[in-house]
Structure 1
Amino acid sequence: MIISEVEKEKEYHYILSYTRSPQEKKIYAPRLAYSMHLAYSEDGSNYRALNHNSGVLFAKATENENGTLNAKSLHNPYIFILQDGTYGVVAVRTEAEGQHDTESKGAVLFFHSSDLLHYREIGLIDLKGGVHVHDVMCEYNELTHSNVIRWRDEHGCFFQNTMQNLFRLTSASTPTRTEAFVLTSASPDIEGIIPRNVLRVPRQVAQRAVHRLTPPANIAIQVPDRIIATSTEDLKALKAIAKYSDGTTSLKKVDWNGDMVTWEEEGTYLVTGTVVQEHYAFPIAANRADPCITKWKSKYYFVATNDEDHNQTLYIRESDTIAGLVEARETLILDTSTYDDIKGLLWAPELHIIADELYLFHAATSGDFLNEECHVMKLRTGGNPTHAADWSRPQRVLRNDGTYLCEAGKVISLDMTVFKWNDEYYASWSERQFVPVDRGAWLYIAKLDSKEPWRLSSEPVLLSKPDYGWANNHTYVDEGPFALIRNGKLFLTFASAAVDATYCVGLLTLNTNGDLLNPEQWTKWNYPLLTSRSVTGEFGPGHNSYVLDDEGITWNVYHARPGLDAPRACGIRRVHFDIDGYPVLDLTEDRDLKREFVNVSVEVVVKHD
């Protein structure tokens, strides 16, 4: 069979790399705009932005001897194919706001990717020029079996180097003068776009990037044409399969009209039904942040930071269903007047079940902000979570040697979460050293003593620093970790940046059979899962948690702002899982279920043995 050139061309699609022009700092600051973005086209002419027109590749910060970070950005990224068919990116590294980066003078930043989704920063390639690089491109030369790097310096002169192996960062040849280079590019109508180069890639690679970097949309609802049933319970158990544009599916409960069937009589009946979708208008709780919903003894409980009184109280809601929590009555379980050492800033409460007992983790201070530390309260056995008197006095978290987790007044701790993995309990939290220097907020993990959950049973291990532009925008913060476990995969989401409209959700994933206390066994995504550009009208989404309902559906409970400068408020949205099993946090209700598909029918054959 002879394949025509036209048919061959259909096997390839097109990826455009670009950066963006910064906008107002609360909307799209330089640390966000100066990152590599991607757009997709089937024909090389009509492009659409991926990932909500947000960056997918950011430069890492560098670190000083005292632990503080120097934020970095990137300009003029160029994406290309390596000899083995994987992908490389070269870019000019800059200071955070786009100025010349002294540390990378005479060098360009090199990244590697196997799929245009996950990127590893290899480091700075020394071009041996001794001047600031302004622009760069790279191609693999099949004839010479070498990589050719062409670049322009700050004075407008053009040079080139050759390298046999880009991963050997110091192996570039001496630069030679060359003619100006021209990029193959495109200029689609995408907000703020500063286009770079177009790369032709295999169709399956491009489409996978599209599926992973675009929220899916419901394209069909499927139910069987016929079922055999003996009772209304058989009918109620029948669920619909929602199919999505990326090839994924999700089970949906159906409200079947069982009254159409005479169950005592054998026969065939046409039964109609309505696909069920819980509706949660944003926000579900105003002036609340850092929300957590937990199921305990057949009931659901909601707790959150109370912004309404400047974080002086913690309230709890109780309901038989998650939906019922929206209108449920709040009852006070902790305030700043009950205990002498709990004086304010009651932050980020989380309910966790440990060895069949219920605990409340939260942060509090004995005085000012610099004394903010993680605390734990225990519900007495048989107690009622809505009764303040059934909760123990807050206990400050201890290290495994019995000393306090942090030295109050110098290092604060907050946002402690707990999860169980392979029959062991783990705690993850955020610490921020302020004295002698402010190093920003970092994420830690340790094993937890299940008999005394206010005590760690291993030394803390550093998991993540706010080293990407989306995590150090306006301030250096990684906080609010929470575990999501599904099908043997462990995901740890966390919140980053300032608690404003640029707040966002990042992701750490544990490698298969990895050791949780080995940082090398975790993979950190280069770009955030959820930002202000993910869902219209929700600004600064972050500090989220997850809960599984009675139907087996995972829900994301988060806070965001209903306006650019509006107070924080809580929302709930279903968590979808993409083609690779990773969580999708931006699947809105209209994309989750199209209204035209909600009405379904099935032929029910009633048989009795």
Structure 2
Amino acid sequence: MSTILPNPFIEQRADPFILLHQQHYYFIASVPEYDRLEIRRASSLQGLRDAEAVVVWRKPESGPCSELIWAPELHNINGQWVIYFAAAPTRDIKDGLFQHRMYALVCDDADPLSGQWQPCRRVFTHIDSFSLDATHFVHQGKNWYLWAQKDPTIPGNSNLYLAELLNPWTLKGTPVMLSRPEYEWECAGFSVNEGPAVITHGQRLFVSYSASATDENYCMGLLSIALDAPLLQPEAWHKSARPVFGSSWDNHQYGPGHNCFTQDEEGRDVLVYHARNYTEIEGDPLWDPNRHTRLKYIEWREDGTPDFGVPPADYTNVP
């Protein structure tokens, strides 16, 4: 494939997630209506732009997962297709927060676009509170579940938690908190740690995450840990004191974040994220549809840490 990445990559798709599985790329994201889950598949990364969006699930008219379908991710866990997403029973705000909880959809068929998806299951954690943005990764031979959640005893909207999985919808053991909003850049507008994503390089495992309100203050932070360290020991993790990716006024790119990672056909690491190209939002940013999916190549520094650079301007070629 060419090293030219169009920007935006896919318009009006926030919280993007791209899975590379058995020589196919799969794309899933939040849709502006927050009412359905749709998957695209292509044999190339670029092919996702024009691939058909197949709706695999629509929200019910009522019930615990009938509103505000947010931040889906598609994973293949031990041969089962799994979609993680967050949903709320209403659009009401209670104690300053929406009422999202986390859910899992499972499909045992080979093809997630045409297969039969089982009824959604609630993913229960250690607290019954606002929770969202779950991701999965495999490390040290175990399946891990990483997500954002409110702890009523901790100020702010959400912290990052990690637990091992017993199966795709059941946690094993007691979760641990990896990070909470503490720096000024994590607490602009709202105190938020959310949207975690995992990548390994060299001898370290990295967790990127998003912080602050979802306007131009939105930005990315970074956690890291040695590959052989115990993941459930919070003291083994290192947290960057500064954001690693943020708005670029020169390039008119605002609020980059809620990222994931993938690779192109040549094995180059790619940052997948969303951002707007303006700051003048009418009304609640939640209902502004123009957080577009964007891609950017990742460079790696000599010390093994990722260099995300700055978000490139719209309609430019990204070398």
Please report the TM-score for the alignment, with normalisation by the length of structure 1: 0.47
The 3-state SS of whatever aligns with 1:324 is helix
Q: Distance in 2 between matches of 1:406 and 1:296?
A: 33
Q: Distance in 1 between matches of 2:70 and 2:205?
A: 25
Going from structure 1 to structure 2, the CA distance change for 1:531 and 1:424 (only over 3 Å counts) comes to: same
The 3-state SS of whatever aligns with 1:470 is helix
Going from structure 1 to structure 2, the CA distance change for 1:592 and 1:279 (only over 3 Å counts) comes to: closer
Which of 113, 126, 132 pairs up with 1:386? 113
* AA at the equivalent of 2:103: H
Provide the residue aligned with 1:352 in structure 2: 75
Q: Distance in 1 between matches of 2:99 and 2:317?
A: 44
The alignment yields a C-alpha RMSD, in angstroms, of: 2.3
Q: Does 1:278 align with 2:3?
A: yes
Q: Distance in 1 between matches of 2:56 and 2:205?
A: 31
Which of 136, 151, 154 pairs up with 1:418? 136
Provide the residue aligned with 1:517 in structure 2: 232
Provide the residue aligned with 2:158 in structure 1: 441
Provide the residue aligned with 1:467 in structure 2: 182
Going from structure 1 to structure 2, the CA distance change for 1:584 and 1:537 (only over 3 Å counts) comes to: same
* AA at the equivalent of 1:463: L
- Deviation, structure 1 residue 519: 0.7
Q: Distance in 2 between matches of 1:286 and 1:453?
A: 30
The answer as to whether partners of 2:5 and 2:317 remain within 8 angstroms in 1 is no
Q: Residues 6-25 of structure 1 correspond to what in structure 2 (within 5 A)?
A: none
Q: Distance in 2 between matches of 1:355 and 1:561?
A: 36
Stretch deviating more after TM superposition (366-375 or 492-501)? 366-375
Number of equivalenced pairs: 303
Provide the residue aligned with 1:247 in structure 2: none
Q: Distance in 2 between matches of 1:457 and 1:585?
A: 33
The 3-state SS of whatever aligns with 2:162 is strand
Which of 101, 105, 129 pairs up with 1:373? 101
Provide the residue aligned with 2:209 in structure 1: 494
- Deviation, structure 1 residue 337: 2.5
Provide the residue aligned with 1:91 in structure 2: none
Encode CA deviations 1:368-404: one digit per residue, 9 max, x unaligned. Answer: 454311111112232x2223x52221111134xxxxx
The 3-state SS of whatever aligns with 1:325 is helix
Q: Residues 55-454 of structure 1 correspond to what in structure 2 (within 5 A)?
A: 277-307=2-32, 309=33, 311-337=34-60, 340-368=63-91, 370-382=98-110, 384-387=111-114, 390-399=116-125, 405-407=126-128, 411-433=129-151, 439-449=156-166, 452-454=167-169
Q: Distance in 2 between matches of 1:493 and 1:486?
A: 13
The 3-state SS of whatever aligns with 1:457 is strand
- Deviation, structure 1 residue 296: 2.6
Q: Does 1:476 align with 2:176?
A: no
Q: Distance in 1 between matches of 2:199 and 2:81?
A: 19
- Deviation, structure 1 residue 365: 1.7
* AA at the equivalent of 2:27: F
Larger radius of gyration: 1
Provide the residue aligned with 1:506 in structure 2: 221
Query: Relative CO higher for 1 or 2, CA cutoff 8 Å, sep ≥ 6?
Result: 2
The answer as to whether partners of 2:132 and 2:148 remain within 8 angstroms in 1 is yes
The 3-state SS of whatever aligns with 1:285 is coil
* AA at the equivalent of 2:307: V
Going from structure 1 to structure 2, the CA distance change for 1:489 and 1:437 (only over 3 Å counts) comes to: closer
- Deviation, structure 1 residue 574: 1.1
Please report the TM-score for the alignment, with normalisation by the length of structure 2: 0.88
Q: Distance in 1 between matches of 2:318 and 2:30?
A: 29
* AA at the equivalent of 1:406: I
The answer as to whether partners of 1:286 and 1:569 remain within 8 angstroms in 2 is yes
Q: Distance in 1 between matches of 2:249 and 2:220?
A: 11
The answer as to whether partners of 1:336 and 1:343 remain within 8 angstroms in 2 is yes
Provide the residue aligned with 1:258 in structure 2: none
Q: Distance in 1 between matches of 2:243 and 2:46?
A: 28
Which of 244, 253, 267 pairs up with 1:529? 244
- Deviation, structure 1 residue 437: 8.1
Encode CA deviations 1:49-107: one digit per residue, 9 max, x unaligned. Answer: xxxxxxxxxxxxxxxxxxxxxxxxxxxxxxxxxxxxxxxxxxxxxxxxxxxxxxxxxxx
Provide the residue aligned with 1:539 in structure 2: 254
The 3-state SS of whatever aligns with 1:440 is coil
The 3-state SS of whatever aligns with 1:531 is coil
- Deviation, structure 1 residue 340: 4.1
Which of 274, 279, 290 pairs up with 1:564? 279
Q: Distance in 2 between matches of 1:547 and 1:416?
A: 17
Encode CA deviations 1:266-286: one digit per residue, 9 max, x unaligned. Answer: xxxxxxxxxx64322221222
Structure 1: any 5+ residue segments left out of the alignment? 1-275, 400-404, 594-609
Going from structure 1 to structure 2, the CA distance change for 1:335 and 1:565 (only over 3 Å counts) comes to: farther
The 3-state SS of whatever aligns with 1:371 is coil
Provide the residue aligned with 1:147 in structure 2: none
Q: Distance in 2 between matches of 1:406 and 1:433?
A: 7
Going from structure 1 to structure 2, the CA distance change for 1:518 and 1:437 (only over 3 Å counts) comes to: closer
Provide the residue aligned with 2:287 in structure 1: none
* AA at the equivalent of 1:283: P
Q: Distance in 2 between matches of 1:339 and 1:378?
A: 21
Q: Distance in 1 between matches of 2:11 and 2:155?
A: 32
Larger helix percent: 1
Going from structure 1 to structure 2, the CA distance change for 1:508 and 1:438 (only over 3 Å counts) comes to: closer
Provide the residue aligned with 1:81 in structure 2: none
